[in-house]
Chain A
Amino acid sequence: MIEVHELVKRYGRVTAVNGLTFTVRPGQVTGFLGPNGAGKSTTLRLLLGLDAPTGGAALIDGRPFRERPRGLHHAGALLDAHDVHGGRSARAHLMVLARANGIGRARVEHVLDEVGLAAAAHRRVGGFSLGMRQRLGIAAALLGDPPVLLFDEPVNGLDPEGVLWARGLFRRLAAQGRTVLVSSHLMSEMENTADQLVVVGRGRLIAAESLGEFAARAGRQSVAVRTPDAGFAARLTAEGAAVRAGEPGELVVDGLSAAAVGALAHRHGVLLEQLTTRAASLEEAFLELTADRVEYAAGAPR
């Protein structure tokens, strides 16, 4: 379990995290979402005790991470795939981390196998592609078989097969009862991975809820209609719908279901060339919410 309470981090005059509070529970994949510069990576560094908070608390299983003499059995993390020394082989890199945490060689070979790097394990990391480095970072996170896992933009640089594999892995880890927090600045990525979302913008919490609730929040369903009948818009308005122009020749109807629009057309003998339900995508919901945040933040004294 991850608990972040009134967390604040300032770097000089820049406030990267500004009173953030949220909880991440085990057994689910939680997406940590926000535009670039929202404070996601800073929050992860604070959770791992790499940076000291200016105020508030960041706890993993009830304690600040700095209090753990060894970390890998408590939390595994991939913060930045480049946080390795290019001169070491993948195996040597993992061996060093394992040895420091009292983890044996067999486990190193196991995680190398699990992330698909067994054949490249003897090669120096400096020659690895970003995707291979991401896999190595994920292997390092898995070393200690930890109950909490933190991944910062883990699918960057992975090929499509790798992305599918990573999603499956995160879901499997969560299904085993672990707490899995995966950050991304892409909503579309979360749509396929996360059960819960923590959305941040400018260092503040925007939303912490299930994917479904988040979708519903900005997810008005609208109906797109095409018809040669110029008077149909007025009929729709008379039924209580809000009608606006969509693409050329298209009406976008809010407040009526597609079935209701179809029935209305049938009743009045109106020809419909198109009748489509459009769910607002999560991406739109995300953009709308973060846009609100930007507007709010710009108007507020900082």
Chain B
Amino acid sequence: MTITTPPARFTDLLAAEWLKLWSLRSIRWALLATALVVVGMNVNAAWADHRNWPGYSEGLRAGFVPTWAIRDAFTDPAMLVLVLAAGTIGAITLVGEYSTGLIRTTFAAVPARRAVTAAKLLVLTPVMAAYGTVLSVVSFWLTQAVLSGRDAGLSFGYPGVWRALAASALLPPVCAVVGLGIGALVRHAATTVAATVAVLLLLPMLFSPDRPWTAFLHHALPVMAWGRLTDLTDYGPLYMGPPVDYPATVTGSWIALAAWPLSAALLALWIVDRCDV
């Protein structure tokens, strides 16, 4: 028999991974539910400040912008939910194939495993980045609109706001790619999700920011890097808050936020190619 083979186009793999992502009802629901919870939590925090404003001390009111105003846009509980969801979604886009056995069907159909993994990463990353952008812009806009009722809201033009928005937009893709990398390493669904949660959310608790080396590790964790980048407090000469012995730098935090997904992606590309499935 003669075989007529169409050329092996990488765009075909991208299209296939795009179909794969959106043909699962569970992913669509997870993204929608997470979006509602994250925005809801942030808006709720802004409402609480709005309600409680009359009872706040002069000192608190004076320092509210920007330190506390930006924290209402990106609250820690909402961050926890977002990190959990993004890390899990990233993990299951790969480990879901291993746990169902679909990976064998996939790799029998496309033996170029690195290309498949690359396509997965190149679909997952922009989708999660777009998702993160929508969530961070909507969260920021709604919460600051609420706070503006007390003249305590930030505008998009306030110094550092774009940095905080960008870091928050990047948090979902960073966590998703880290989850995917851990999935490639572990290749077992429940263990992968547990490991992803441990790396993203539990590790920060293990490293104290009070000693130089552990502070370095602490600052290098993705969630902590995000925390630094969304912190608009001015640590200049006028800084009046509690002293920080080993402060995180903005540049270092950007590097950490980039290094995690890059390492995870390289790990996935390497492992998926060389292991039996």
Whether A97 is near chain B, meaning CB under 8 Å from some CB there, is yes
With CB as the reference atom, state the residue of chain B lying closest to A77: B108
CA distance A83 to B106 in the complex (A): 9
A100 touches B105 (CB 8 A): no
CA distance A80 to B108 in the complex (A): 12
B12 touches A100 (CB 8 A): yes
A100 touches B23 (CB 8 A): no
CA distance A102 to B13 in the complex (A): 9
Q: Which residues of A contact B24 (CB under 8 A)?
A: 85, 87-88
Q: Which residues of A contact B23 (CB under 8 A)?
A: 87-89, 92, 95-96
- A interface, how many residues as a size bin? 35 or more
Q: Which residues of A contact B109 (CB under 8 A)?
A: 70-72, 97, 100-101, 140, 143
Q: Which residues of A contact B277 (CB under 8 A)?
A: 50-51
Q: Which residues of A contact B80 (CB under 8 A)?
A: none
B8 touches A70 (CB 8 A): yes
Whether B242 is near chain A, meaning CB under 8 Å from some CB there, is no
CA distance A101 to B6 in the complex (A): 8
Q: Which of A60-68, A224-232, A258-266 participates in binding chain B?
A: A60-68
Q: A69-B8, A102-B7 are in contact. Are A83 and B25 (CB under 8 A)?
A: no
B3 touches A74 (CB 8 A): yes
Closest 10 CB pairs of A and B: A102-B6, A100-B16, A83-B101, A69-B8, A92-B23, A147-B1, A51-B276, A99-B16, A69-B112, A73-B5
Q: Which residue numbers of B lie inside 8 Å of A, CB to CB?
A: 1, 3-9, 12-13, 15-16, 19-20, 23-26, 96-97, 100-112, 115-116, 274, 276-277
| Known interface pairs A80-B104, A87-B23, A100-B110; 14 further A-B residue pairs with C-beta atoms within 8 A, sorted by A's residue number | A45-B104, A51-B277, A52-B274, A52-B276, A73-B6, A77-B108, A83-B102, A85-B24, A89-B23, A95-B19, A96-B19, A97-B16, A97-B106, A146-B3
A-B contact pairs, 12 of them (CB 8 A): A65-B108, A65-B111, A72-B109, A73-B6, A87-B24, A89-B23, A97-B106, A101-B6, A101-B110, A102-B7, A102-B8, A140-B105
